[in-house]
Structure 1
Amino acid sequence: MKFVDLLAMSLKNLSRRKLRTALTVLGVVIGTASIVVMVSLGIGLSEMNRELISSFGSLTEINVENPYSGDSSKDPLYLTEDVVKQMKRLPYVTDVYPMLQVNVLLQQGKYSSNVTLNGAPYEYLKKIPLGQGKLSDPSDKELKLIYGNAMIQWFTDSKGNNTYWETGQLPDVDFMGKPMFAIFDTDTYYQSQGGGEDAPKPPKKYLIKADGVVEGGVDDYNSYAYNVYTRLDLLETQLKKIFKKRAIPGQPTNKKGKPYRYLIYNSCIVNVDDVEHVETVQKKLTDMGFQASSNADWMKQSEQQSNMIQAVLGGIGAVSLFVAAIGIANTMMMSIYERTKEIGIIKVLGCDMKVIRNMFLLESGFIGFMGGVMGLLFSEGVSFAINHLLNVGQAMTGMSGNISRIPLWLAAASLAFAVFIGMAAGFFPALRAMKLSPLAAIRNE
């Protein structure tokens, strides 16, 4: 018998008992929808965690810092230019960006703010997305600043009042329109403000222009939002010019209290070619004696938790589909009892046993297919409703994006699984139909 004829006969048999078939399909619909929705929640949660962690920085970046050493008998280990060169030679490392941080007081009109100025290589600054302005050409030797999009929140008036968090109004600070006064020797500055005969002379103020402002609103968070950046080479030149032979604030000194002949970086950002190699490189950096951390650490823990959640949610949904499989088996068994005489006639006419088996497998498989398709459509509706409710409550939850996500592979896998469950549930009833005695089946009333 041709497959088309066999399929037509199976559909005709299912249509004889429309209500029973519809109720059996409904069980598969509920089971399929339960699995898809549950797993989609796990997938959405995992992807939202990944997106959240990625917003704090690239997953292929490793942050390296100077080690803490309480043993004064050993020579301290620092991030220097020579160490940076060693890191660049490590396998899988594509770039190393040394970072130098200094505390600076910025002033514009009556507004001021104490900020940490981050000196970074030009190649790193090129990666910062700017909403205003443009990064100067590398041939430009003038020190300029790049402001994070949320940095304006930290500026206060001369009395330290009327902050953005108190009034909800931004201070009248124009990063791009007006240059900023910068005081690098902040210790001397605050000592000079105390007055008295021993008060030192106020340090020199430097007028610095802006290269740009990071893209985004003042309340939008990204890894650059609350930082101020400038070129590392120009910052080093500026600091040497200001402090000369004196110790630069924040820079370590030797046992005699004198500054080193070279600058020591506060941290380094090590770029790895692939997220799969981050853990290997991170271990090598730790073995060198430095503190190394990455967003991949959080991601690994997050994915372990997400996998557990997906397994639990998927298991809950699988119970529903298992119950549906029992319903399919019951429907097939009832169909055999009702069609015992028909099966006997088919056998007497010389029909192949495999045809009888395949007929019942097709019927049960088609129940699974119909239930799977309708279950997927129902899952899409439930997923849309969940995401809509979440988007309405984003202001309260602090989350963004869809928490229920149904990728194409999940839809295809759930449909295939529904068909498989249907055919598996119909397998033993099909074997029973094959084993029926033709004469006994014909005599059956």
Structure 2
Amino acid sequence: MNLTDLLRMSLGNLKRRKLRTFLTVLGVIIGTASIVVMISLGLGMQNSIYQEVEQSGGLTTLTVTGKSSGDTMMGYDGQNSDEPTKYITDDTIKEFSQIEHVKLAAPMYQMSGYLLKGPYIGYIQIVGTTREALENQNIELRPGGSLPAENSGQLEFVFGNGLQTQFYEKNSGKGYWDTGEMPDVDLEKDQMFLVLNTQAYDNARSGSGFGSGDGGEQPGTRKAKPAQKYVVHSSGVVAGGPDSYNTHFYNAYCDIDTLKMMLKREFAGTAIPGQPQTKSGKPYKFFAYTSASVKVDDLDEVDAVSQQLRDMGYNVQSNVEYVESMKSQFAIIQAVLGGIGAVSLLVAAIGIANTMMMSIYERTKEIGVIKVLGCSLKNIKQMFLMEAAFIGFLGGVIGNIFSFAISGAINFIVGSSGESMGFAGNISYIPVWLMLVSMGFAVLVGMVAGYFPALRAMRLSPLAAIRNE
């Protein structure tokens, strides 16, 4: 008996018992879809992390932090719990750039500010850095956008695509998160006013006359002067709408040298907020940055450069270390999710075994007849294994189709709330290899479930089988 005959008989037997075959295949469909969808959730979260890393400069970019500076606290990597002993200054950046295998060392300074536009006021997180550092972050801009000009004398910003949600009405204090309505602010076209001295601005609005904000003067401060308002405009906006979360969502990027010039002008004669001061309250001559972005030329040298920077007295965050730690966590998550889905496929395997055993009892005479006619034991085993494999294959194919439908529905539902959940991209991702592996696994489960029924069919005595009927 050739392969064609075996295949024809196997399919014919399945067609004769359509309802039972359908119910058995349905079990495989549910099991396959469960495994694929569960694993796809883990892969989706993993891809989200990879996208975030790419938006932060890739695996060869390091974030180096020194003693606290600016009004944003930078996190540490946990490997060096001691607080850094040195500030990051222009001399520090030059020192970093001279380290072997360092391709780029750029300063970064973070501070808060206000944007004013008509009746609206918006809180923004300003990130000042160099053009090279911005290029290294792989920021995708909307059509027509460009990175801020260097040393132009006027601040230009690349606005995050979610910055519009940070505006609220001055009078009512209500904004997007209160009303659900987007403020009438066009980040790309509108001319806005920037307030760098937020404390003076808040004091003026509240009627306080001091720079400290607590009703009394502090060392190094003087009676607050009115906050200056600087005309600023956008050089570009990060691609995506306010519902597309990414690493740059709330930030406003500008040229670091221009920002420093305006800060020194704004706070002339007094210490810039967040900058280190002497015990008498006087500012130091150097400008301390919040952090430094260091680009390594070779992935294999990332660990060595990181350790060298730590030995110099700084804390280092490495995207490589971050990804490696996340990989182990995602492996556990995927194993748990896959195990949950595998339970469904195990139940389907029991259903296949039951179907095949029932088929043997119903076809006892048929098995005896084909044995008497000279059909080999090997052919009988192959016939039953083919039936089981076909059930697994059919369930795997349809299960994958259902998986894509379920995955699409999950991404559609979660997409509207992706911003609040912190996901960039799809939460469910089904690669081609997962589809192929799941179909192969479904076929394998079918054949394993049908193996023992096939052995039983082989061992039936022809005479006993015919007499039994």
Amino acid at match of 2:439: L
Listed as ranges, the matches of 1:40-55 within 5 Å are 40-48=40-48, 53=52
Deviates further, 390-399 or 378-387? 390-399
Distance 1:282 1:163, change over 3 A: farther
Deviates further, 142-151 or 216-225? 216-225
Distance 1:295 1:171, change over 3 A: farther
By how many angstroms is 1:400 displaced? 7.5
By how many angstroms is 1:365 displaced? 0.9
Say which of 75, 97, 104 aligns to 1:95: 104
Deviates further, 261-270 or 295-304? 295-304
Counterpart contact for 1:214–1:225, Cα < 8 Å: no
Counterpart contact for 1:32–1:375, Cα < 8 Å: yes
* Whole-angstrom distance in 2 between the partners of 1:173 and 1:30: 48
Amino acid at match of 1:286: R
* Whole-angstrom distance in 2 between the partners of 1:344 and 1:119: 84
Listed as ranges, the matches of 1:396-407 within 5 Å are 402-407=426-431
1:27 paired to 2:27: yes
* Whole-angstrom distance in 2 between the partners of 1:75 and 1:438: 84
Distance 1:428 1:93, change over 3 A: farther
Counterpart of 1:268 in 2: which secondary structure? Answer: strand
Counterpart contact for 1:92–1:277, Cα < 8 Å: yes
Q: Name the % identity.
A: 45
Distance 1:137 1:31, change over 3 A: closer
1:266 paired to 2:277: no
Counterpart contact for 1:387–1:404, Cα < 8 Å: yes
1:63 paired to 2:86: no
Counterpart contact for 2:115–2:192, Cα < 8 Å: no
* Whole-angstrom distance in 1 between the partners of 2:340 and 2:167: 52
Counterpart of 1:426 in 2: which secondary structure? Answer: helix
By how many angstroms is 1:375 displaced? 2.4
Counterpart of 2:10 in 1: which secondary structure? Answer: helix
* Whole-angstrom distance in 2 between the partners of 1:254 and 1:9: 92
Q: Kindly provide the CA deviation profile for residues 349-389 of structure 1, in whole angstroms up to 9, marking residues without a partner as x.
A: 44333222211211111121122223233334444444455
Say which of 337, 352, 358 aligns to 2:361: 337
* Whole-angstrom distance in 1 between the partners of 2:249 and 2:4: 64
Structure 2 gaps of 5+ residues are 70-82, 211-220
Alignment correspondent of 1:231: 255
Counterpart contact for 1:179–1:209, Cα < 8 Å: yes
Counterpart contact for 1:154–1:163, Cα < 8 Å: no
Listed as ranges, the matches of 1:192-341 within 5 Å are 194=209, 210=233, 212-215=235-238, 222-224=246-248, 226-235=250-259, 250-253=274-277, 262-272=286-296, 282-293=306-317, 303-341=327-365
Counterpart contact for 1:29–1:371, Cα < 8 Å: yes
By how many angstroms is 1:84 displaced? 2.5
Distance 1:68 1:41, change over 3 A: closer
Alignment correspondent of 1:379: 403
Counterpart of 1:212 in 2: which secondary structure? Answer: strand
Counterpart contact for 1:143–1:231, Cα < 8 Å: no
Alignment correspondent of 1:124: 133
Counterpart of 1:351 in 2: which secondary structure? Answer: coil
Say which of 134, 153, 157 aligns to 1:146: 157
Say which of 370, 375, 378 aligns to 1:351: 375
* Whole-angstrom distance in 1 between the partners of 2:194 and 2:182: 23
Amino acid at match of 2:454: A
Distance 1:252 1:419, change over 3 A: same
* Whole-angstrom distance in 2 between the partners of 1:175 and 1:19: 61
Counterpart contact for 1:164–1:170, Cα < 8 Å: no
Counterpart contact for 2:109–2:127, Cα < 8 Å: yes
By how many angstroms is 1:66 displaced? 0.9
* Whole-angstrom distance in 2 between the partners of 1:143 and 1:23: 71
By how many angstroms is 1:49 displaced? 5.9
Counterpart contact for 2:62–2:294, Cα < 8 Å: yes
Alignment correspondent of 1:413: 437
Say which of 426, 433, 437 aligns to 2:457: 433
By how many angstroms is 1:417 displaced? 0.9
1:84 paired to 2:84: no
Counterpart contact for 1:391–1:400, Cα < 8 Å: no
* Whole-angstrom distance in 1 between the partners of 2:15 and 2:117: 81
Counterpart contact for 1:146–1:211, Cα < 8 Å: yes
Distance 1:393 1:86, change over 3 A: closer
Counterpart of 2:104 in 1: which secondary structure? Answer: strand
Alignment correspondent of 2:72: none
By how many angstroms is 1:399 displaced? 6.5
Counterpart of 1:269 in 2: which secondary structure? Answer: strand
* Whole-angstrom distance in 1 between the partners of 2:263 and 2:172: 32
Q: Kindly provide the CA deviation profile for residues 253-311 of structure 1, in whole angstroms up to 9, marking residues without a partner as x.
A: 56897765543333112235688976665454334321233566665565544443332
Distance 1:29 1:274, change over 3 A: farther
By how many angstroms is 1:11 displaced? 1.5
How many matched pairs? Answer: 435
Counterpart contact for 2:67–2:88, Cα < 8 Å: no
Deviates further, 409-418 or 368-377? 368-377
Deviates further, 208-217 or 430-439? 208-217
Deviates further, 104-113 or 244-253? 104-113
Q: Kindly provide the CA deviation profile for residues 400-424 of structure 1, in whole angstroms up to 9, marking residues without a partner as x.
A: 7654443322222221111111111
Alignment correspondent of 2:73: none
| Structure with the greater alpha carbon radius of gyration | 1
What is the TM-score with the length of structure 1 in the denominator? Answer: 0.73
* Whole-angstrom distance in 1 between the partners of 2:196 and 2:344: 68
By how many angstroms is 1:326 displaced? 1.9
Q: Pairwise CA RMSD of aligned residues? A: 5.0
Say which of 363, 388, 399 aligns to 1:364: 388
Listed as ranges, the matches of 1:180-195 within 5 Å are 194=209
Deviates further, 173-182 or 120-129? 173-182
What is the TM-score with the length of structure 2 in the denominator? Answer: 0.70
